[in-house]
Amino acid sequence: MEQVMKNFFLFLSKNKPMTKLAKKYGLRFGAGRFVAGETINLAVDVIKELNNKGLFVTIDYLGEFVDNEIEANEMADQSIEAIKAIGRENLDSQLSLKMTSMGLDISDQVVMRNMRRILKAAKDNGVFVTIDMEDYSRCQKTIDIFTELRKEFDNVGTVIQSYLYRTEKDIEDLNEYHPNLRLVKGAYKESPEVAFPDKKDVDDNLKKIIKMHLLNGNYTAVASHDDAIIEYTKQLVKEHNIPNDQFEFQMLYGIRTERQLELSNEGYKMRVYVPYGTDWYGYFMRRLAERPANVAFVLKGMVKK
């Protein structure tokens, strides 16, 4: 039943008519738990609150299904606005973004132009930018963009997903760039031809690439809400005397809030992924797909007076 629900919400996440409907009617039905708001000002308030609690942040202006150059340029403008707000308010925050929102599906020229102007603004404001990973069909293109940009900018990283068979090879190939990588399990529905169908294999592969990347001496963001993965990382860094400034834990805004504070209080760097914007629908559906408890929370919120 859990897998059926997951597939259902992943299907909904790619539904373009529903995405447009959600943008029209705003944040409702519990999405506010996972999304900071629709504007950068609301997001800044959330970042300040998290920073005051000792938590670091990465902010993401949500956007999916961008299929024209004008909209892609507008998405890039929003990212630059967020970067300037981070610098102006002196916030402990990075920026995350998706290549599809920058024009990946339009042309190489559009996406690279937008990324270069974003990274230039980020460099001017002392902000690090992470390129989010999307579905398998865009994986290689995203890595190609990252490696090209990494030759020009040192304030850019990307994401590697452990549920893909190719992941270990990607870690090996990227090592020459000494990359800052966010390591995750992966949140898209993929074919068993390209991704591990069994959760245990996904978990084991995540542990493997965490170890590989840390022992390569590279900065590692372990993005997981799984206590087994967190404890594995703690033991690994202790066993190999890896300093705390070489890695961090990351979790999503609105999920396991108390655990985030616990890790921070234990002396670990804890970064919270904070999305905002009107195009929240796809992101919200993937959060519901990840855990049945998220669905229960939303249903409770819908009937609560």
Tokens for 240, please give them.
């190999």
Per the CB < 8 A criterion, the answer to whether 207 and 247 are in contact is no
Cα separation, 113 vs 75, in Å, equals: 12
Q: Examine the residue annotation and report whether 33 is marked as an active-site residue of this protein.
A: no
Taking only Cα atoms into account, the Rg of the chain, rounded to an integer number of angstroms, comes to 18
Per the CB < 8 A criterion, the answer to whether 188 and 197 are in contact is no
Active-site pick, 60, 170, 182, 286:
182
Torsions phi, psi for 10 (to 5 deg): -65, -35
Cα separation, 35 vs 65, in Å, equals: 18
Tokens 């937008």 map to which residue? Answer: 114
Q: Examine the residue annotation and report whether 132 is marked as an active-site residue of this protein.
A: yes
Per the CB < 8 A criterion, the answer to whether 100 and 66 are in contact is yes
Known catalytic residues are: 132, 182
